[in-house]
Structure 1
Amino acid sequence: MPKAKPRQASDALLRELRAFGLAYPGAHGKSPWPGHDDLAVNDKTFAYLGVEGEPFSISCKLPKSGEAVLLLPFAKPTAYGLGKSGWVTVTPPPGELLALDVLKAWIDESYRAQAPKKLVRELDARGGASAG
């Protein structure tokens, strides 16, 4: 089964990204509809992650790096009008995954764009991006 290995790798990547995002101050998970596993702070989503067993995808609010990320052939403005607010969705082809540090940087940028300033200050006080 040649497709099992890429799927296992993307599922492991999703688990790692979820744990990374949940380590941020005030972060929690929510699943508003099937097929999405959101990372949120104060009920405000800062990352939409695909679910295990499905093709890998991630959507983040990227006010600083979004224009550059949109140059990737598998990136597009996020649907439902979110793209107008700086949200970018990345869905690499099956078997292709982006570097973990790049994905974590996007989650960090999106958290900082969505979180209350008080929680961003708390994050910075403990050394920046959550340890992961």
Structure 2
Amino acid sequence: MTPEELRAHCLAKPGAWEDQPWEGDHVAKVGDKIFAFMGGTTVGVKSGASRAEADEWLLQYPEDASVMAYIGRSGWNTLRIDGAIPDGEIREAVDDSYAMVVAKLPRSRRPT
């Protein structure tokens, strides 16, 4: 998967839009919440409801998955898109992150 393919996949989600909240950092948001940090050859995603659940990625892909700085304790991981993780699993991780973030939005702000 290329960074462009990752970006296209993220932004194809209902209500998704790209933002640059910090110089040089591109993110995909739904509503006002980030669901993917798009960082060139990596993507940061909400990988589980808890750190323990998100740690499954670290066990399965120790060379290509890591805990995100600052927000990792809340279940966010960084996944390499040019490593051993299959493209389908990267897409699924983005889809799951999107679904978790949308579920936390107030019903009135969820995309239809």
Q: Shorter-chain TM-score: which interval?
A: 0.7 to 0.9
In the other structure, the counterpart of 2:47 is 62
Match of 1:99 among 79, 86, 97: 86
- Is the partner of 2:22 in helix, strand or coil? coil
Query: Shift in Å at residue 32 of structure 1?
Result: 1.6
Other-structure match for 2:15: 26
Aligned-partner Cα distance in 1 for 2:93–2:24: 20
Letter of the structure 1 residue corresponding to residue 42 of structure 2: S
Displacement after TM superposition at 1:98 (Å)? 3.0
CA RMSD of aligned residues (A): 2.2
Higher share of residues assigned strand: 2
Larger radius of gyration: 1
Gaps of 5+ in 2: none
Residue 22 of structure 1, CA deviation = 0.9
Deviation at 1:88, TM superposition (A): 0.6
Hey, what's the Cα distance between the residues in 2 that align with 1:35 and 1:68?
29
- Mapped to 2, the partners of 1:105 and 1:87 lie a distance apart of 15
Q: Deviations over 1:64-105 (max 9, x none)?
A: 66221121223221102x11111011247xx63532211110
1:77 to 1:15, Cα distance in 2 relative to 1, 3 A: same
Unaligned stretches of 5+ residues in structure 1: 1-9, 123-132
Residue equivalent to 1:7: none
TM-score by length of 1: 0.67
Identity of aligned residues (%): 32
Q: Separation in 2 of the partners of 1:96 and 1:77?
A: 16
Number of corresponding residues: 103
Letter of the structure 2 residue corresponding to residue 76 of structure 1: S
- Amino acid paired to 2:69: A
What are the within-5 Å matches in structure 2 for residues 1-132 of structure 1? 13-51=2-40, 56-63=41-48, 66-71=54-59, 72-74=61-63, 75-80=65-70, 82-91=71-80, 96=83, 98-115=85-102, 116=105, 118=107, 119=110, 122=112
Task: Spell out, residue by residue over 1:41-68, the C-alpha distance to the aligned partner (whole angstroms, 9 max, x if none).
Answer: 11210000113xxxx1111001166221
